[in-house]
């Protein structure tokens, strides 16, 4: 997996102020060229925390797109989830943690920074629990204090969840008390109401995510805790969605990662055939989002070659080619790099800011009718929340009718995707298309005879709506085992699915307190059996 490191020039210099170094004592007064924490600008520090947040969340999603079948996985799991795969994200997280703690120290004596510190703690909290979700326990309490703790110990994942939940509650109080705004807010433009809705939504997400092990985070009555949050202001409409918006400039690079990979020089990857089949053929009606999610570069027959797909006549391939010029690869097919970069299906207009597919069949790099990469990174949206609440209503009996919540979640996703980029085309999806799709899902849900079958439908629709944020799909898959029909590796009937990612190889090499672990180790909230998913 290619790692792209972004440098934040002058902002990054602020981080260097807090890196410990040994300086000889020459009996001098304070060096005017050396800036201590009291000289640091909290606005700059928070700016960098925001950018690092975006980079880490984006990168983790890219690392998970292939194992969750949105893209094709061209390797075995151990090859793609190897010891150095998260080196960059690990370094960025601890840079963010370092800056976060500096902001916290400065804010202790400055009441004008209540809002700054609250946002800081919410962003850092999301990153912390996400690293726990991917890796398990990580150094936290002793981290970024090299002088005292040169080999910081690992904190337990459940304990870190407790810390973050407490930080969320404190952040909400601080936002309510804050009287000053943030000069640069990349998410909500200093809208305190929306930040509070995000905070409560994040808390609700964490409670549902840990529902199989809620006692480990100190929750004795999970149903009541969730119902209390459901009665408060959480993200419920698209205008409150927590997301990052990309731009169109190339220098400095501001475009969506999907756009860069598909529209600059030709797509080197492949879209996942399973995901494309789910959009096109898994129901009696095609998913109305398909032309927004995917863009077909060519109407060349992929079996006519060369170049051509190599899976023809291969009985191991479940899909190979699903027809209508949707050209990708099955999960685990390693026969890529066949000169088809300008022929295969690529990312569409949503969420990467590419092109809406109206049968242009023009290769992406020469396609001028696109958004130039001005896409979004959806992090917590109203549809995501409603899928989670539907899950809780079904399995925990929390407030709300699961089937109504499921329908609302699907419609929220449809509205968001179909309105993205203001598409005007004869091939744009209609309200009738959406209604037909929703009707089929709800009919299937009502026909299901067990709660497990119903949960399968909820999580499958969550998976379809989660395109662009595979973090949610990765968590839901480990928590529930759904979608149940997800494609298994075509070259391995019994693969070992990575229940967590490894520690950063660089960290293992330099920190004597950490030993590398196998990818079979499960995060504390994943209490499902070994081999539960593939």
Report the 10 Å Cβ neighbour count for 45: 26
**Residue 380: DSSP 8-state:** E
pLDDT of residue 23: 37
Whether 418 and 506 map to the same domain: the answer is no
pLDDT tens digits, one per residue of 377-388? 999 999 999 999
How many domains does one find in the chain?
2
Contact 344, 328 (CB under 8 A): yes
Whether 432 and 466 map to the same domain: the answer is yes
pLDDT of residue 17: 39
Structure tokens given for 305: 């070659």
- In a domain, residue 340? The reply is no
What's the gap between Cα 210 and its chain centre? 17
Distance CA 417, CA 331 (A): 25
Distance CA 489, CA 316 (A): 9
- In a domain, residue 531? The reply is no
Whether 394 and 504 map to the same domain: the answer is no
- In a domain, residue 411? The reply is yes
CATH classification of the domain holding 182: 1.25.40.390
Strand partners, 242: 380
pLDDT of residue 492: 92
pLDDT of residue 27: 43
Whether 202 and 154 map to the same domain: the answer is yes
pLDDT of residue 182: 94
Three-state DSSP class for residue 521: coil
Structure tokens given for 402: 């699961």
Whether 505 and 386 map to the same domain: the answer is no
pLDDT of residue 127: 98
Buried b (16+ CB within 10 A) or exposed e, 455-465: bbbbbbbbbbb
Angle, CA 417 vertex, CA 411 and CA 419 arms, to 5°: 95
pLDDT of residue 38: 67
- In a domain, residue 428? The reply is yes
Contact 209, 523 (CB under 8 A): no
Angle, CA 292 vertex, CA 291 and CA 298 arms, to 5°: 50
Whether 53 and 101 map to the same domain: the answer is yes
pLDDT of residue 28: 42
Q: Which residues contact 337 (CB under 8 A, 6 or more apart)?
A: 268
Whether 414 and 469 map to the same domain: the answer is yes
Below-50 pLDDT ranges, the chain? 1-35
Whether 506 and 397 map to the same domain: the answer is no
Distance CA 251, CA 236 (A): 36
Q: How many residues are present in the chain?
A: 534
pLDDT of residue 330: 97
Q: According to DSSP H, which parts of 108-230 are helical?
A: 114-135, 157-177, 192-209, 222-230
Whether 460 and 504 map to the same domain: the answer is no
pLDDT of residue 306: 82
- In a domain, residue 190? The reply is yes
Distance CA 210, CA 460 (A): 19
- In a domain, residue 491? The reply is no
The span from the first CA to the last CA of the chain, in angstroms, equals 20
Contact 375, 352 (CB under 8 A): yes
- In a domain, residue 64? The reply is yes
pLDDT tens digits, one per residue of 199-245? 999 999 999 999 999 999 999 999 999 999 999 999 999 999 999 99
3 state SS for 356-410: CCCCCCCCHHHCCCCCCCCCEEEEECHHHHHHHHHHHHHHHCCCCCHHHHHHHHH
pLDDT of residue 126: 98
CATH classification of the domain holding 411: 1.20.120.840
pLDDT of residue 22: 35
Whether 434 and 390 map to the same domain: the answer is yes
Whether 467 and 505 map to the same domain: the answer is no
Going by C-alpha positions, the residue among 352, 410, 404, 408 that lies closest to residue 377 is: 352
Distance CA 353, CA 258 (A): 8
Element (H, E) at 378: strand 376-380
Domain that holds residue 471: 377-480
- In a domain, residue 167? The reply is yes
pLDDT tens digits, one per residue of 425-435? 999 999 999 99
Whether 389 and 420 map to the same domain: the answer is yes
């Amino acid at each position: 997996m290619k790692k792209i490191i972004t440098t934040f020039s002058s902002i990054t210099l602020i981080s260097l102020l807090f890196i410990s170094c040994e300086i000889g004592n020459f009996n001098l007064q304070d060096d005017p060229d050396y800036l201590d924490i009291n000289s640091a600008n909290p606005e700059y520090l928070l700016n960098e925390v925001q950018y690092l947040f975006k980079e880490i969340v984006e990168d983790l999603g890219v690392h998970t797109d292939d194992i969750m079948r949105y893209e094709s996985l061209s390797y075995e799991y151990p090859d793609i989830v190897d010891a150095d795969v998260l080196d960059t994200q690990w370094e960025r997280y601890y840079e963010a943690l370092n800056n976060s703690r500096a902001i916290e120290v400065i804010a202790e004596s400055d009441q004008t920074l209540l809002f700054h510190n609250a946002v800081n703690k919410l962003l850092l909290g999301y990153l912390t629990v996400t690293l726990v979700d991917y890796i398990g326990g990580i150094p936290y309490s002793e981290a970024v204090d090299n002088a005292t703790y040169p080999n910081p110990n690992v904190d337990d994942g459940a304990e870190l969840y407790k810390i973050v939940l407490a930080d969320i509650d404190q952040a909400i109080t601080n936002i309510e008390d804050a009287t000053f705004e943030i000069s640069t807010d990349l998410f909500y433009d200093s809208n305190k109401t929306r930040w509070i809705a995000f905070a409560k939504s994040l808390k609700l997400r964490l409670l549902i995510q840990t529902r199989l092990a809620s006692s480990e985070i100190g929750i004795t009555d999970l149903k009541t805790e969730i119902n209390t949050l459901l009665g408060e202001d959480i993200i419920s409409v698209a205008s409150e969605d927590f997301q990052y918006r990309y731009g169109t400039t190339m220098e400095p690079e501001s475009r969506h990662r999907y756009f860069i990979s598909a529209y600059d020089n030709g797509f080197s990857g492949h879209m996942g055939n399973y995901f494309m089949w789910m959009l096109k053929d898994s129901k009696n009606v095609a998913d109305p989002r398909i032309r927004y999610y995917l863009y077909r570069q060519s109407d060349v027959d992929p079996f006519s070659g060369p170049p051509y797909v190599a899976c023809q006549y291969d009985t191991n391939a479940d899909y190979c080619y699903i027809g209508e010029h949707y050209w990708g690869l099955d999960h685990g097919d390693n026969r890529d790099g066949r000169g088809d970069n300008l022929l295969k299906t690529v990312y569409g207009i949503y969420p990467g800011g590419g092109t809406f597919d109206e049968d242009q069949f023009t290769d992406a790099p020469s396609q001028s009718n696109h958004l130039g990469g001005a896409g979004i990174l959806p992090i917590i949206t109203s549809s995501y929340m409603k899928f989670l609440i539907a899950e809780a209503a079904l399995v925990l009996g929390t407030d709300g009718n699961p089937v109504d919540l499921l329908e609302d979640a699907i419609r929220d996703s449809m509205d968001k995707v179909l309105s993205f980029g203001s598409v005007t085309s004869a091939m744009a999806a209609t309200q009738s298309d959406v209604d037909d799709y929703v009707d089929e899902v709800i009919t299937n849900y009502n026909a299901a005879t067990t709660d497990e079958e119903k949960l399968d439908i909820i999580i499958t629709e969550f998976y379809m709506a989660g395109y662009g944020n595979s973090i949610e799909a990765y968590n839901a898959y480990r928590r529930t085992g759904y979608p149940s029909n997800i494609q298994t590796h075509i070259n391995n009937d019994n693969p070992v699915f990575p229940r967590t990612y490894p520690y950063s190889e660089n960290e293992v090499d330099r920190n004597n307190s950490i030993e590398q672990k196998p990818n079979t180790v499960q995060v504390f909230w994943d209490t499902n059996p070994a081999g539960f998913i593939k």
